[in-house]
Amino acid sequence: MAGDKGLGKGKTSGISRRNLLKTGAVSAGVLVGGGLLSQAMHAQETHPADQHHAAADPAAHSEHNSLLVGVVDHQRNGFDPMQVLVDWDAGQVSVLPNGQTLREYNIYAEDKEIEIAPGIFYPAWTYNGRVPGPTIRCTEGDRLRIRFINGGTHPHTLHFHGIHPFEMDGVPGAGPGEIAPGQTFTYEFDADPFGCFLYHCHAMPLKRHIHKGLYGAFIVDPKQGRPPAREFVMVMNGFDTNFDEENEVYAVNTVGHEYVRRPIPAKVGELIRVYLINIVEFDPLNSFHLHANMFDYYDHGTTLEPTLRTVDTIMQVQGQRGILEFKYRWPGKYMFHAHVSEFTELGWMGQFNVVPPDQFEAAMAEVGVDAEWDRKATQGSTAKANA
Ligand SMILES: [Cu+2]
């Protein structure tokens, strides 16, 4: 029977997500990604027939409780989560005869295997070879012209959140509908209104096309801009590595626990602004909890005044977004994570490394980022500075 190969739904798996949580491999530590766990999951991913060898040796579990073992090869992936935090894509910019700013983009879909935790590989579908796709950033009122090229093996679309004509909605039955492999279509609309949005594939079956990795952030700055801040984009995502419709790895910006291995540098006293997006499939809710601090929250980012003040935890349904603003008073390594313990243990956890200004350069060097990263984090807005 098909189930004997181990790809049947849940039946043969000794290393399903629920079972993982029961083994010492995860419960003894906070962090996923250890050698045995990696081997087990990778075995299931690519060599289902061998999975029992990997999963059935309980002695091996206890040897690998240090779950920070190993690193992800970001170069091989073609994207680095430290850079994903700040690599706003303003597009190819020109001015239309009517004075409107035009931003042009090329986005292609591509099937690509990516490493989502040390030694754990996932057969993703990507926009521009990365998960999440490029962070499209513009100012309200700009014209967006986005040429989509489907280089993948399945029909895909680009569905943007925001206000736009029906034909540009990127769903089956609207305009060109699903774009077949090898085909292209140019989506064009005005950025309206300002806020924190996302785009994703809307081909059928939807949950498959989303959880495979076809999504990205879409940030529309208000015309007057927002107050100066250190800005990051965080896309909360998850990966179903054994196709049982549950996620085995959770993350922000794809790589589980990457911001624990490489805490995000920030300065004491400065305003930090996080554009937060939840795209996790299969689980009805995700959340964000900040340690030793409180933040203001702008639900959907479509207002200039906070919709929640002085909170330390918010929740988002799939597709929901918001903007967080906060400052740290004292230096330290502060955790942020989902307040769903299971997600945390399976990768959705990070840290801010808050330092005095004179130690900031060293904090950046520790995690492999430089002055250009700092510039992107603090000067990402596309709005003209009017203030
Ligand atoms: Cu798709």
pLDDT digits (tens, 9 = 90+) for 248-306: 999 999 999 999 999 999 999 999 999 999 999 999 999 999 999 999 999 999 999 99
In a domain, 387, yes or no: no
Q: State yes or no: pLDDT of 340 exceeds 80.
A: yes
Residues 235 and 374 in one domain: yes
Instruction: Give DSSP secondary structure letters for 306-321.
Output: -SEEEESEEEEETT-E
Residue of 14 and 117 predicted with greater confidence: 117
Structure tokens at 97: 């005869």
Residue where a domain terminates, one of 199, 221, 243: 221
Q: Do the Cβ atoms of 221 and 227 come closer than 8 Å?
A: no
Residues 57 and 160 in one domain: no
Q: What is the pLDDT of residue 17?
A: 53
CA 117 to CA 260: how far, in whole Å?
12
In a domain, 55, yes or no: yes
CA 2 to CA 155: how far, in whole Å?
27
Residues 142 and 56 in one domain: no
Residues 284 and 320 in one domain: yes
Domain extent, residue 334, equals 230-378
In a domain, 69, yes or no: no
Query: Out of 32-36, 71-75, 302-306, 333-337, which region has the weakest mean confidence (pLDDT)?
Result: 32-36
**C-alpha 133 – ligand 1 centre gap (Å):** 13
Residues 163 and 254 in one domain: no
Residues 245 and 371 in one domain: yes
**C-alpha 207 – ligand 1 centre gap (Å):** 9
Q: What is the pLDDT of residue 265?
A: 98
**In sequence order, what are the beta bridge partners of 187?**
146
**C-alpha 279 – ligand 1 centre gap (Å):** 14
% of the chain residues with pLDDT over 90: 81
Instruction: State mean pLDDT over 21-30.
Output: 38
Q: What is the mean pLDDT of the chain?
A: 86
Split at pLDDT 50, 70, 90, the class of 342 is: very high
**C-alpha 225 – ligand 1 centre gap (Å):** 33
Q: What is the pLDDT of residue 386?
A: 43
Split at pLDDT 50, 70, 90, the class of 42 is: very low
Rounded to two decimals, what is the model's pTM? 0.85
In a domain, 314, yes or no: yes
Q: State yes or no: pLDDT of 148 exceeds 70.
A: yes
**C-alpha 155 – ligand 1 centre gap (Å):** 6
Residues 154 and 177 in one domain: yes
The dihedral built from the CA positions of residue 94, 97, 101 and 106, taken in this order, carries a sign that is: negative
Instruction: State mean pLDDT over 155-178.
Output: 97
In a domain, 386, yes or no: no
Residue where a domain terminates, one of 33, 63, 93: 63
Structure tokens at 65: 């409780």
Q: Do the Cβ atoms of 162 and 198 come closer than 8 Å?
A: no
Residues 316 and 183 in one domain: no
**C-alpha 229 – ligand 1 centre gap (Å):** 35
% of the chain residues with pLDDT over 70: 82
Residue where a domain terminates, one of 174, 204, 221: 221
**C-alpha 211 – ligand 1 centre gap (Å):** 10
Query: Out of 1-5, 30-34, 314-318, which region has the weakest mean confidence (pLDDT)?
Result: 1-5
In a domain, 71, yes or no: no
In a domain, 68, yes or no: no
**C-alpha 160 – ligand 1 centre gap (Å):** 13
**C-alpha 128 – ligand 1 centre gap (Å):** 13
Residues 237 and 193 in one domain: no
Q: How many domains does the chain have?
A: 3
In a domain, 385, yes or no: no
pLDDT in tens, 305-316: 999 999 999 999
**C-alpha 213 – ligand 1 centre gap (Å):** 9
CATH value at residue 109 = 2.60.40.420
Residues 238 and 373 in one domain: yes
Residues 268 and 211 in one domain: no
Residues 249 and 203 in one domain: no
pLDDT in tens, 216-234: 999 999 999 999 999 999 9
Residue of 63 and 179 predicted with greater confidence: 179
